Amino acid sequence: MFIRVVLLFIFVFSTSCSPNIPFLPQQAKPKRELKEEIVNSTDKTSSIESKEKKLEIDPRLAKILKSPSLIANKQNIEAAKKTVLVVKSQTEPVITAISNIGPKLDNDDLELDATGGLSMTKLISDGGVVNAMASSAELNVKAAELIYAENINKELIEIIKAEQAIVNFSKIEAIYKEQLAVYSENLPLIQTAAKANIISKTDVLKLEQLKLKSEESYLTAKTAAEAAQLIRKKYNLTDDDNFFKIDLGKWEIIEEKLIENNFLNIQLIETQISITKKDIEALEAQYLANVAFAGTATANVTDIDSSLGFVGLNISLPVKDGGKKDFQIQEKKIQVEALKQQKADVSLLKQTSHKALQNFQKIYKLRSKLLLNQIENSKIISEDIELKLRAGAASVIDLATEKMNFYDLRSQGVALEYQNINEIIKFYQGLGYQCDLTELCDQINLVTISK
């Protein structure tokens, strides 16, 4: 008898799982749709092209991806995917084995009695709560992927800035060594002329100031380069790993991307807005009835034929919760508005930073042109003083000072070029599009999209 009850229970349960209930919402999308939805949330063109070309990951990028923080980000993506499965599992049937053992209360001998059986429940409709929560969980996967891509870009730009500091130092060092050689070569003559009062001590001090200025620039650049080497070492980049080549001119044709405004940080804010809206949807759905299939089958282990069974629907409808859900919904709506404002602020910042870079470029070009003219002029003056020195019409301090000034102007040119590079890097950091400097965006998309 007990077996018949269980079989009947399972049969009714299996028929109740049929999705052909037109008045009830579908609780969850198929897993295939989930995968397609996540993949389609990324850059379709780059992901398709990557698969067709079988894009290989740059070995240097592969080393960056092994950093502990990025590994943690990758694990967060996997955890978010598990959460999707956990949420969707709420639509699956729950089967529980139940048993009780204890003395019979109507028996003076306190004889032990035992019962056992099965309990089954299957969610049929909850007003759309699980469906909204599943959508929210799927969006959290996308958010985790965007955060992963953002952090790859951040670590990539950290290395690029470090490498540019090393390049800058190599240029400063070359100029400083040339300058120091000129200073050392002329120092004995200058000291002799100073002792003989042929040149003033003021002129000597001016020369010393130029040397000290160059030495300060050299040591500052050297310190930055040493710190940069540590950054490369942190990512296991060696001398065999070439520096990333950066394109300093691409920012000039980025207006179209600025109009589209589809950068990672904007995508992340939009995803957070969608997540919050799904949370609101889930809260609002909790006002509706909850319908579940429920059934139990139990029997005394000593009397299987005297089994008890129940099969039916469990319906619950929330009546009052003290306003908790209303407050939660209001809070979520405020969050949505705050995120929309944040998106507007970030978008405006991108536009203003682009204008700022355009203005800096105008100044940079003018100053570069002026420095080139000054350098050329200083070179001519040095050659002229050298000829006058041979004819006795100029002093050694005049020649040394002008040559030191010549190298100082060259150092200023290098510093200006380095400032320009940093301004462009800063602009790309504000966009959240650092990978475009090195043509690595397709590769980063490839390693961050859902498989």
Over the Cα atoms of the chain, what is R_g? 37
In a domain, residue 358? The reply is yes
Helix (H, G, I), strand (E, B) or coil at 119: strand
| Dihedral angle over CA of 258, 261, 263, 264, nearest 10 | 150
- How far apart CA 265 and CA 150 sit, in angstroms, is 7
- How far apart CA 254 and CA 6 sit, in angstroms, is 68
pLDDT tens series, the chain, 451 aa: 444 444 444 444 444 444 333 333 333 334 334 333 333 333 433 343 444 446 789 999 999 999 999 999 999 999 999 999 999 988 888 888 888 776 766 656 666 677 778 888 888 888 888 999 999 999 999 999 999 999 999 999 999 999 999 999 999 999 999 999 988 888 787 777 777 777 777 878 888 888 898 999 999 999 999 999 999 999 999 999 999 999 999 898 888 888 888 899 999 999 999 999 999 999 998 888 888 888 887 877 666 666 677 778 888 888 777 788 899 999 999 999 999 999 999 999 999 999 999 999 999 999 999 999 999 999 999 889 888 877 777 778 888 888 889 999 999 999 999 999 999 999 999 999 999 999 999 999 999 875 5
In a domain, residue 181? The reply is yes
- How far apart CA 273 and CA 366 sit, in angstroms, is 44
Token representation of residue 139 = 């969006």
Looking at residue 120, the DSSP 8-state letter turns out to be E
In a domain, residue 159? The reply is yes
Return the number of other C-beta atoms located less than 10 Å from residue 204's C-beta: 18
- How far apart CA 182 and CA 197 sit, in angstroms, is 22
Overall number of domains in the chain = 1
- How far apart CA 220 and CA 224 sit, in angstroms, is 6
In a domain, residue 363? The reply is yes
Token representation of residue 291 = 């319908």
In a domain, residue 110? The reply is no
Residue 149 dihedral angles phi and psi, to the nearest 5°:
-65, -40
Amino acid type, 136: S
Range list of β-strands (E), 239-384: 290-300, 303-316
- How far apart CA 261 and CA 349 sit, in angstroms, is 11
Task: Write the CATH number for 218.
Answer: 1.20.1600.10
> Quick check: 445 and 47 in contact, CB under 8 A?
yes
List beta partners, residue 103. 112
In a domain, residue 109? The reply is no
pTM of the model: 0.79
| Residue 273 vs residues 93, 183, 194, 268, 437: alpha-carbon distances, Å | 32, 63, 74, 9, 29
- How far apart CA 218 and CA 201 sit, in angstroms, is 25
Contacts of 309 (CB under 8 A, 6+ apart): 5, 6, 8, 9, 295, 296, 297, 298
Token representation of residue 392 = 């006795």
In a domain, residue 54? The reply is yes
What does the chain come to in residues?
451
Residue-level pLDDT at 108: 60
Closest CA to 279 of 134, 123, 438, 145: 134
Token representation of residue 145 = 């992927």
Axis-axis angle for helices 201-234, 129-195 (nearest 10): 150
Amino acid type, 21: I
In a domain, residue 426? The reply is yes
Residue-level pLDDT at 105: 61
Task: State the residue for tokens 């995968």.
Answer: 35
Amino acid type, 193: A
| Residue 188 vs residues 184, 204, 404: alpha-carbon distances, Å | 8, 12, 16
Q: Which domain covers residue 341, as residue numbers?
A: 38-92+129-287+325-448
- How far apart CA 192 and CA 210 sit, in angstroms, is 20
| Dihedral angle over CA of 123, 128, 132, 134, nearest 10 | 20
Q: Is 406 exposed, middle or buried (0-12, 13-18, 19+ CB in 10 A)?
A: buried
Q: Round to the nearest angstrom and report the end-to-end CA distance of the chain.
A: 50
Task: State the residue for tokens 């999707």.
Answer: 84
Residue 391 dihedral angles phi and psi, to the nearest 5°:
-90, 0
